Amino acid sequence: MTTVAYIANEFPSPVEPYVQDEIGELRQRGVRVICCSGKRVAPRGLSVADRSFWDETRYFQPLSDDELMRATRRLASDRSAFWQFLKPMLWECGASPTKRLRVLAHTVMGAALAEELAPLGVEHIHAHHGYFASWMARVAARMLGIGFSFTLHGSDLLQRADLMAAKLRACQFCVTISDFNRNYILKRYSSTHESKVIVQRLGVDRVFPSPVPSDQQQRRFCLLAVGRLHRVKNYSFLIQACAALRDEGLDAICWIVGEGPERSALERQIKALRLQERVYLIGYVPPVHLSGYYRYADLVVLTSLSEGIPVVLMEAMAREKHVLAPAITGIPELVEHGRTGFLYEPGSQNDFLSSVRSILTQKASLARIPRAAAAHVACFYNRQRNLRSFADQFLARIAKPDTDHAHPLLQQIRLSV
| CATH number of the domain enclosing 329 | 3.40.50.2000
Q: Give pLDDT, residue 316.
A: 97
Does some domain include residue 210? no
Q: What is the pLDDT of residues 327-342, one digit of tens each?
A: 999 999 999 999 999 9
Strands 221-226 and 58-59: unpaired
| 228 and 80 belong to one structural domain | no
**Averaged over 294-321, what is the pLDDT?**
96
Better pLDDT: 230 or 95: 230
pLDDT of residue 294: 96
Q: Which domain holds residue 304?
A: 221-380
178 and 196 co-located in one domain: yes
Side-chain-side CA neighbours of 182 within 13 Å: the count stands at 17
214 to each of 218, 253, 292, 365, how far by Cα in Å? Answer: 9, 18, 14, 19
Mean pLDDT, the chain, integer: 92
Over its C-alpha atoms, the chain yields an Rg (Å, rounded) of 23
User: Is 278 inside a domain boundary?
Assistant: yes
Based on the domain organization, do 290 and 182 belong to the same domain? no
- What's the pLDDT tens digit per position in 212-260? 666 555 579 999 999 999 999 999 999 999 999 999 999 999 999 999 9
Whether 208 maps to a domain, the answer reads no
Q: Does residue 67 share a domain with residue 8?
A: yes
Give the contacts of 371 (CB within 8 A, at least 6 positions apart): 320
| pLDDT classification of 4: cutoffs 50, 70, 90 | very high
Let me know whether 373 and 398 are in one domain. no
Q: How many domains does the chain have?
A: 2
Residue 349 CB coordination number (10 Å): 13
CA neighbor of 303 nearest in space, from 275, 324, 334: 324
Q: In whole angstroms, how far apart are CA 219 and each of 222, 246, 297?
A: 8, 16, 10
Q: Within this chain, do residues 165 and 314 fall inside the same structural domain, yes or no?
A: no
| DSSP reduced 3-state for 37 | strand
Same domain, 257 and 371: yes
> pLDDT at position 216, please?
56
Q: Is residue 320 over pLDDT 80?
A: yes
Q: What pLDDT sits at residue 82?
A: 85
Is residue 154 domain-shared with residue 244, that is, in the same domain?
A: no
Whether 372 and 404 map to the same domain: the answer is no
